Amino acid sequence: MHNGTWNKISTKCWEIRGKTLGKDRWAMGMKVLYFDDMIGAEQLAQMKQGSYLINASRGSVVDIPALVESMRSGHTAGAALDVYPTEPAANGDYFNDTLNSWGNDLRSLKNLILTPHIGGSTEEAQSAIGIEVGEALVRYINSGSTIGCVNMPEVTLRSLTLAEENHVRVIFIHSNRPGVLRQVNSILGDHNVDKQMSDSRGDVAYLMADISDVNAGDIRSLYESLEALSSKIMTRVLY
């Protein structure tokens, strides 16, 4: 990394979670503090002289030029960084000033550990990601849940059971604009809505509702009415 080479791999990298250690290291006997805003020049100055900074969360959390200046002045004794505001899209000699204007300044520091965003790059993590993504897709297909989704509103309702006959789950993804919920509820209003939840993220909104005592004709009518709305992005019915 100090030479500008980004080499992010997970092969033969393992998590310590679930492994056995011969001595108790719970919390390392340390007092833990946390801070929920960006770490910039002001925050670095408030740290004790000779402090060390570790960032393994998100690259934008730390103001890198401010950190470089604090380390050069000797106020911050050292740092370890695993994440960066802008990261290379592939392995290679890309960690330089072209990627981030402060790249060469950062790499020139000697009291600094740089790693290429490998905090989650273990063989266990790669396997777990595949399982997690697969389970998330199954939850969306089977119940419409979008919990954990990064580019959609997070909406979930408990799963329908076999005992809930003549029920339908209406899933309506639509443009986030005024008046849509009034139109949707006027369509659902002729039926018994057992549960309903909606949320929005940016220009997209997501509504999920469970409706009881409906037959095949009712379900078709609900679907066609929602599909006819100009705000519609996608309509699904689960039953």
Instruction: Check 2, 15, 42, 58 and give the catalytic one.
Output: 58
- 115: closest CA among 107, 123, 126? 107
Report yes or no: 34 and 43 within 8 Å, Cβ to Cβ. no
Q: Running DSSP on this structure, what letter comes out for residue 198? A: E
Q: Which residues of 33-45 are buried (b: 16+ CB within 10 A; e: fewer)?
A: eeeeeebeeebbe
Catalytic-residue membership of 87 = yes
Instruction: Check 87, 124, 154, 164 and give the catalytic one.
Output: 87
Question: CA angle at residue 78 from 75 to 80, to 5 degrees?
Answer: 140
Q: Give the residue carrying structure tokens 């639509």.
A: 174
Beta strands at 76-81 and 51-55: parallel, antiparallel or unpaired = parallel
Q: How far is Cα 226 from Cα 172, in angstroms, rounded to an integer?
A: 8
Q: Running DSSP on this structure, what letter comes out for residue 158? A: P
Instruction: Check 75, 117, 191, 201 and give the catalytic one.
Output: 117
Q: How many Cα atoms within 13 Å fall on the side-chain side of residue 164?
A: 14
Catalytic-residue membership of 191 = no
| C-alpha dist (Å) from residue 166 to 47, 84, 144, 156, 220 | 62, 52, 18, 20, 13
Catalytic residues: 58, 87, 117
